[in-house]
Structure 1
Amino acid sequence: MTEGDRRNLITDNRALRRMRRQTIHAIMNQLHGFDAHEEFSDLLEEARKKYNITRVGLFDIDLVLYDFKLGMPKAFLEVKNRYQVRDDDGYAMFDEPQYTFLEDLGNYIGVPVYYVIKTKTKWLVWKVERGLAQRRQLTDGRTVVLLPLEKARPYNHGQMVNRFLRELLRRY
């Protein structure tokens, strides 16, 4: 597509205003969704404290690959942005409770779980499995997991479509 073709995609002010309204509407819906998510998390935390419940947590799963014919999930994917991941660090750092949850979920249900990370230059994919993560306690008391970059499968955009996602979808 040439520069002239791009300019001709929107032919008048009415179309431009409509596109702007649709864009703003979509952004507002996303923000309201984030707000509802945060408010529900706060409500859960308030209830946990009020009733002194310490052994439960609330986690989300970003994507579920679901097989409608079999009526069951086939893979769970946790998608993250980690633009600061650098190869010379050797590890990517993540929240330990979430990782443990995903590890346990995959083992309990028997469905593979993947961390899919978008870095500045590529995609990194780890299959969540026991023994992969190194757990570390930070000075502020939080526990994190370190996933070795050498164990990640790296992909560029085309490879994500033509290798990882094709392989994942073909299994089902």
Structure 2
Amino acid sequence: MTNDGDRRNLITTSREIRKVRRQTISAIFNQLQGFSAHEEFSDLVQEAKEKYGITRIGVFDVDMIIWDFKNAMPIALLEVKNRHQLQESDGYAIFDEPQYTFLEDLGNYLGVPVFYVVKTRVKWLVWKVERGLAVRRKLADGRKIVLLPLDKAERYNHGEMVHRFLKRLMER
């Protein structure tokens, strides 16, 4: 049971509601513009590759870098996905092979661990990108994929991500 004071604290003015709506719309618009710029730049790189016959170049991004400011070096690289991006087949998660190979090579080059991190409805799945884990396949349409065994994924709930996985990474 609430008293009048509790109910008054829950009520916001129309002005405050409009401000929150504007901020939300602005944040969504900024994200969409960022996606648009990303896609446009990728198209420009592709156009340059085709125009000048350059085939050895690929364009990739890294979703997150955990950075150690004291030692001025990366601690870990993360490729973060959500459950809608996760495709599964016969006990495996399916990912893009060129991206996996890039992350594998980059991690080896930098000497930094790389992880695929997937947020499902109820848990986080984490794979360390390393040689020998992925099963590589070429599909009939020419696309290349990697299969990561679901039983090799570390599983964490919210608290375990903070107190086990991330704490362990940041204490390195």
Q: With the length of structure 2 as denominator, give the TM-score of the two structures.
A: 0.91
- Measure the CA separation in 1 of the matches of 2:72 and 2:24: 35
| 1:134 counterpart residue number | 135
- Measure the CA separation in 1 of the matches of 2:118 and 2:96: 14
Instruction: Answer with 103-112 or 158-167: which moved more.
Output: 158-167
| 2:156 counterpart residue number | 155
- How far the C-alpha of 1:121 sits from its partner, in A, is 2.5
Please say if residues 75 and 169 of structure 2, whose CA atoms lie closer than 8 Å, have aligned partners that are also in contact.
Answer: no
Residues 85 and 51 (structure 1 numbering): CA distance in 2 closer, same or farther, change over 3 Å? closer
- Measure the CA separation in 2 of the matches of 1:39 and 1:9: 44
- How far the C-alpha of 1:170 sits from its partner, in A, is 1.7
- How far the C-alpha of 1:120 sits from its partner, in A, is 2.6
| 2:68 counterpart residue number | 67
Residues 10 and 164 (structure 1 numbering): CA distance in 2 closer, same or farther, change over 3 Å? farther
- Measure the CA separation in 1 of the matches of 2:126 and 2:7: 34
How far does the alpha carbon of each residue in 1:13-38 deviate from its partner, in whole angstroms, 9 at most, with x for none?
00000000000000000000000000
| 1:44 counterpart residue number | 45
- How far the C-alpha of 1:97 sits from its partner, in A, is 0.3
- How far the C-alpha of 1:169 sits from its partner, in A, is 1.4
How far does the alpha carbon of each residue in 1:97-125 deviate from its partner, in whole angstroms, 9 at most, with x for none?
00000000111110110110112331100
Identity across aligned pairs (percent)?
69
5 Å matches for 1:1-172?
Answer: 8-9=9-10, 11-83=12-84, 89-171=90-172
- Measure the CA separation in 2 of the matches of 1:143 and 1:76: 22
Please say if residues 94 and 145 of structure 1, whose CA atoms lie closer than 8 Å, have aligned partners that are also in contact.
Answer: yes
Please say if residues 10 and 16 of structure 1, whose CA atoms lie closer than 8 Å, have aligned partners that are also in contact.
Answer: no
Q: With the length of structure 1 as denominator, give the TM-score of the two structures.
A: 0.91
CA RMSD in angstroms comes to 2.0
- How far the C-alpha of 1:82 sits from its partner, in A, is 2.9
- How far the C-alpha of 1:6 sits from its partner, in A, is 9.0
Code of the residue aligned with 1:62 in structure 2: it is D
Where structure 1 has 5 or more consecutive residues not aligned to the other structure, the ranges are none
- How far the C-alpha of 1:94 sits from its partner, in A, is 0.3
- How far the C-alpha of 1:8 sits from its partner, in A, is 3.7
- How far the C-alpha of 1:85 sits from its partner, in A, is 5.1
Structure 1's consecutive aligned runs of 4 or more residues displaced over 6 angstroms after TM superposition are 4-7
- Measure the CA separation in 1 of the matches of 2:163 and 2:47: 45
Please say if residues 114 and 128 of structure 2, whose CA atoms lie closer than 8 Å, have aligned partners that are also in contact.
Answer: yes
Where structure 2 has 5 or more consecutive residues not aligned to the other structure, the ranges are none
Code of the residue aligned with 1:154 in structure 2: it is R
